[in-house]
Amino acid sequence: MIKKGNLYYPSEEFKKQAWVNDKAIYKKAAKNPVKFWEDLAKDLVWFKKWNKGFVHKPPYFEWFVNGKINITQNALDRHLDKRKDKPALIWEPEPIKEKARVFTYYELFKEVNKFANALKKLGVKKGDRIGIYLPMIPEVVIAMLGCARIGAVHVVVFSAFSSKALNVRLQDTKAKILITADGYYRRGKVIDLKKNADQGIKKTNVKKVVVVKRTGNKVKMRKGRDIWWKELINKESNQCEPRSMDSEDLLFVLYTSGSTGRPKGCVHVCGGYAVQAYWTAKWIFDLKEDDVFWCTSDPGWVTGHTYTIYSPLLNGVTTLMYEGVPDYPAPDRWAQIIEKHKVSIFYTAPTAIRMFEKYGTDFVRKHKLETLRLLGSVGEPIDEAAWQWYFKEVGKERCPIVDTWWQTETGGILITSLPGLGPFKPSFTGLPFPGVKVDFKDGNLVILPPFAPGLLRGVYKNPKRYLKTYWTQYGKKIYFTSDGAYQDKQGLIRVIGRVDDVIKVAGHRITTGELESAIALHKDITECAVVGKADEIKGEVPIAFVISRTKKSSEVIAKEVITQVRKEIGPIASPKQVYLVKDLPKTRSGKIMRRILRKLFTGEDLGDLSTLANPEIVEEIKNMIK
């Protein structure tokens, strides 16, 4: 890359070969964004072309109206002519002694069809919701695409979420079938997933449980309800016609944390999502025929949905999935995988970069990373130090770094610098993707019509929440992101962080409200408050303050609170610290002042405490934290 002042630009060589290397594209798109997206959409295969690009009925909108499409036809069938024997998916297992598995486009096509046929045999119809609670194994790809093939709606639940979290999502969507596995590897240990699944389907509509045999640990199979994946698909035909879906038919529901306790189901649809997933990846990651693309996100998160699975397959490139933890059995595991599978484009979260940075540079230098040509970052702001380390140690000052901003709600990336154009400015994400209009209102990032084809169409079965969360702050025609952000003189955007209760812990989205609800369920806790605290590696970590009705020691309470959170949400949400306090700072009307608790960690001025009902408690908590 070429450095000019505090900005970086792609090398001439990179620029020349990039899909986008003329900034005129921005102007052209801005002139008529709907037409711009319509032109892009023509590159996909449609059963029937749409008759209207964009229709707005605030707060609702539609894209590619009356168009008919199937995303799997675009991700699989249309590559069979040219790419039949090309690897579609490379899967690297966690245990070192196990061999990687490779699925060519044709093999993946056949597996997806078999599974789709099996679903049909189980009575699955278009529009039915299917729960998917699988670790990072090839079957998660097959299951998702199998659903999409026949018009079933996949509801993927992160495999490290607790059975309670699974239960909430299955109840909300009334899923009749759950796809899960016996277990999976994590740091060499077998995690019994089936046990969680059994717990999680209690009091739901789930009638059948399909179980992938991954680790071979002993699991209980309930007769008439549980079926092994292999046995289910064994005799199925590997031909299944892709169902013609309306552009606005549901493709998937993915739950994410919002301001209040209960997670919300973001609704994504077939047409717009496919168009955005295809084009954002093509241009932002500059995907070319020979690329091996590695997005490290678990399919349980939106980044995994879009950029581990749909985008690379829509583009006909090879996608890589790794089962395990980044630093197992040693810190160089990821570097070793990049070298082994000749990864050319690597997309991860700042938290991983900071973790590796901490391990020191020796382990990365042990591996040739010369196949890399482009790097990406996602999920949280990337600080300048992490950016520089990524740039020097991983990208060898050669690879452009695209810092991509988006959300579960947006379905795909909306803001970033394009790799063939730049400029790249550490800690700034860049410009809105061509055809996307944003604005800044009171320091908040908002998105203006026509939004983007992949933006969510609703909160599952909760129109009130949809309206309130996204379309109330600035009216029904302006999408409110809940992120604070600003633009520099050149228009480059810096996203500062959430303005609501959402915190990003190691890139994972959770809300302090959700944690508080979980903790409050503990019988000994009378009141609690959770705030995010800055963390060197994870970006942010949750800190809990609790009041107990018992005389249990603070150590015991802390342990129980952590267990409680793990049970209700999952280990990723575990508080880093639990403080047992006598009281919480409150206003005279009894509102807990979380702002003050947050400031205790940042060292900011606490402001005027005299309006509090109990100012003395602040000093007490302050001493505790020290």
Sites of contact with ligand WTA (CB under 6 A): 256, 301-303, 378-381, 403-408, 429, 483, 495, 497-498, 504, 509
What is the C-alpha radius of gyration for the chain, rounded to an integer number of angstroms?
24
DSSP H or E stretch at residue 103: strand 101-104
Cβ distance to ligand WTA smaller for residue 103 or 480:
480
Q: How far is the CB of 381 from ligand WTA (least distance, A)?
A: 4
Q: How far is the CB of 270 from ligand WTA (least distance, A)?
A: 20
Q: How far is the CB of 257 from ligand WTA (least distance, A)?
A: 8
Question: Dihedral (C-alpha) 358, 360, 361, 366: value to the nearest 10 degrees?
Answer: -120
Phi, psi dihedral angles at 585 (to 5 degrees): -60, 130
Q: How far is the CB of 401 from ligand WTA (least distance, A)?
A: 11
Sheet with 87-92, strands from edge to edge, namely: 101-104, 87-92, 318-322, 292-295, 345-348, 374-378, 401-404
Cβ distance to ligand WTA smaller for residue 159 or 429:
429
Cβ distance to ligand WTA smaller for residue 209 or 569:
569
Question: Dihedral (C-alpha) 79, 80, 82, 87: value to the nearest 10 degrees?
Answer: 80
Q: How far is the CB of 484 from ligand WTA (least distance, A)?
A: 9
For residue 358, give the 3-state DSSP assignment.
helix
Between CA 205 and CA 564 the distance in angstroms is: 26
At residue 537's C-alpha, the angle toward residues 536 and 539, to 5°, is: 75
Cβ distance to ligand WTA smaller for residue 199 or 462:
462
Cβ distance to ligand WTA smaller for residue 530 or 557:
530
Cβ distance to ligand WTA smaller for residue 312 or 585:
312
What is the SS3 assignment for 368-428? Answer: CCCCCCEEEEECCCCCHHHHHHHHHHHCCCCCCEEEEECCHHHCCCCEECCCCCCCECCCC
Q: Which residue is nearest to ligand WTA (CB)?
A: 408
Cβ distance to ligand WTA smaller for residue 276 or 303:
303
Q: How far is the CB of 582 from ligand WTA (least distance, A)?
A: 34
Q: What tokens were used for 147?
A: 């659903």
Q: How far is CA 147 from CA 117, 256, 261, 302, in A?
A: 10, 21, 29, 17
For residue 367, give the 3-state DSSP assignment.
coil
Cβ distance to ligand WTA smaller for residue 247 or 481:
481
Q: Are 226 and 128 in contact (CB under 8 A)?
A: no
Q: How far is the CB of 377 from ligand WTA (least distance, A)?
A: 6
Q: How far is the CB of 444 from ligand WTA (least distance, A)?
A: 11
